[in-house]
Amino acid sequence: DAGVTQSPTHLIKTRGQQVTLRCSPKSGHDTVSWYQQALGQGPQFIFQYYEEEERQRGNFPDRFSGHQFPNYSSELNVNALLLGDSALYLCASSFGAPGKAGHWLAFFGQGTRLTVV
Amino acid sequence: SQQGEEDPQALSIQEGENATMNCSYKTSINNLQWYRQNSGRGLVHLILIRSNEREKHSGRLRVTLDTSKKSSSLLITASRAADTASYFCATADSWGKLQFGAGTQVVVTP
């Protein structure tokens, strides 16, 4: 049973460029959340997708957008990259509608290390 | 902003010793979870404790929760070199949104 998979593992981009990160949830999971983890910090919630809709959003600018596909996989897009966007981006999946008990347990992928130069 | 604050920020112990780290949070919670992260890789879920629980065990892990003090502790007994990692507490709201602290870096030396 594959866990949460993220691609690519590492990425280097130039300021101003756009980037797309991908996530496949754990088998049987239907909710995907994205987190940004700066060096030496804890992960920060970006947004959460369920039934192909953004359900919750953290304190991130509109440059950060996402999408969830019918197969529950998800993409995180970041436009107009800034140096400060350099971080580890983590995808987490869970099962069940947000608000339901089973939804609390999230499984994380290995992350995508984004470096903006 | 971070919801939880872990204490200490760093901990260095020898194999066989116990490691204790604490977490304080600010708002009401549905549950609190502890995660481990090795060398900036993905987070591994360790244990979840619900707001109506006071203590929970899983193998060498013991977690306590005091909702009146808005604090939790994680105890790792008989630590091993493989326990070297960063440990994060995270509070979850009813929608599953996790808010993490800055973490405790634990180094276990043989």
**Residue among A45, A88, A107 whose CB faces B45 most closely:** A107
| Rounded Cα distance, B23 and B18, in Å | 17
CB A112 within 8 A of CB A7: yes
Share of chain B above pLDDT 90, in %: 75
**What digits encode the pLDDT tens for the residues A56-114?**
999 999 999 999 999 999 999 999 999 999 999 999 998 876 666 555 788 999 999 99
H helices of chain B, where? Answer: none
Q: In the block, which residue shows the tokens 């591994």?
A: B44
Helix (H, G, I), strand (E, B) or coil at B72: strand
**What is the pLDDT, as a whole number, of residue B1?**
46
CB contact (8 A) between residue B98 and residue A43: yes
| B residues 66..95 contacting A (CB < 8 A) | 88, 90, 92, 94-95
Q: How many CB atoms lie within 10 A of CB A10?
A: 9
> Is B40 close to A88, i.e. CB distance below 8 A?
yes
Check B97 against A113: CB less than 8 A apart: no
Contact B3, B67 (CB under 8 A): no
Name the residue of chain B whose CA is nearest to A58's CA. Answer: B97
Residues A20-69: tens digit of each pLDDT: 999 999 999 999 999 999 999 999 999 999 999 999 999 999 999 999 99
Contacts of B102 in chain A (CB under 8 A): 40-42
Q: Is A103 on the interface with B (CB under 8 A)?
A: yes
Both tokens of A36, joined, read: 């940004």
- Measured in angstroms, the CA of B26 and the nearest CA of chain A are apart by 16
Confidence at residue A114, expressed as pLDDT on a 0 to 100 scale: 98
Respond yes or no on whether the N-terminal peptide bond of residue B8 is cis (omega within 30° of 0).
Answer: yes
Q: Closest CB to B41: pick one of A44, A105, A110.
A: A110
In chain A, which residue's Cα lies nearest the Cα of B47? Answer: A105
Q: Are B83 and A44 in contact (CB under 8 A)?
A: no
Closest by alpha carbon to A114, among A4, A31, A14? A14
Contact A26, A109 (CB under 8 A): no
Give the nearest partner residue to A90 out of B43, B92, B99, using CB atoms.
Answer: B43
Test A110 with B92 for CB contact under 8 angstroms. Answer: no
Residue B49 CA to residue B35 CA, distance in Å, equals 12
**A-chain residues near B4 (CB < 8 A):** 42
Predicted pLDDT of residue B5:
80
B9 in Cβ contact with B107 (< 8 Å):
no
**Low-confidence stretches of chain B (pLDDT beneath 50):** 1
Return the residue matching tokens 């629980």.
B53
Selection from B69, B54, B52, B64 nearest residue B21 by Cα: B64
Closest C-alpha to A6, from A98, A67, A88: A88
